[in-house]
């Protein structure tokens, strides 16, 4: 199946025998909004994706797709940096001591 959200939304709607009007009514949006999503002109909000996933019986990650591996690495690095920035010097020294246990110098 295509990773394109619009294609997934349309295929799921058709597979469930729903019209754009049916989906729009269930999600409290206009049929034009559903058409724009299906044609790639609009993206659904996270809330709308969750409602659509529930409506069609699929998981949210199926609709949204997986997170790019390079993004995951960057996100982890950013989270570590944010935590370290909040530490005082004594806490940073403890962290360094702990890391040296895990990664002894050769």
- pTM, two decimals, is 0.59
Distance CA 38, CA 45 (A): 14
User: pLDDT at residue 54 above 90?
Assistant: yes
Distances 28 to 18, 25, 37, 104 between C-alpha atoms, Å: 15, 5, 14, 58
Residue 103 in this model has a pLDDT that exceeds 80 = yes
Please indicate whether residue 54 or residue 62 has the higher confidence score (pLDDT): 54
């Amino acid at each position: 199946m295509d990773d394109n959200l619009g294609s997934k939304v349309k295929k799921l709607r058709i597979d469930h025998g729903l019209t754009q009007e049916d989906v729009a009514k269930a999600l409290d949006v206009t049929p034009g909004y559903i058409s724009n999503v299906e044609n790639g002109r609009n993206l659904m909000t996270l809330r709308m994706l969750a409602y659509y996933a529930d409506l069609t019986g699929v998981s949210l990650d199926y609709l949204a797709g997986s997170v790019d591996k390079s993004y995951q690495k960057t996100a982890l690095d950013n989270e570590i940096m944010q935590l370290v920035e909040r530490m005082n010097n004594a806490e940073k020294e403890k962290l360094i001591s702990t890391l040296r246990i895990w990664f002894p110098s050769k």
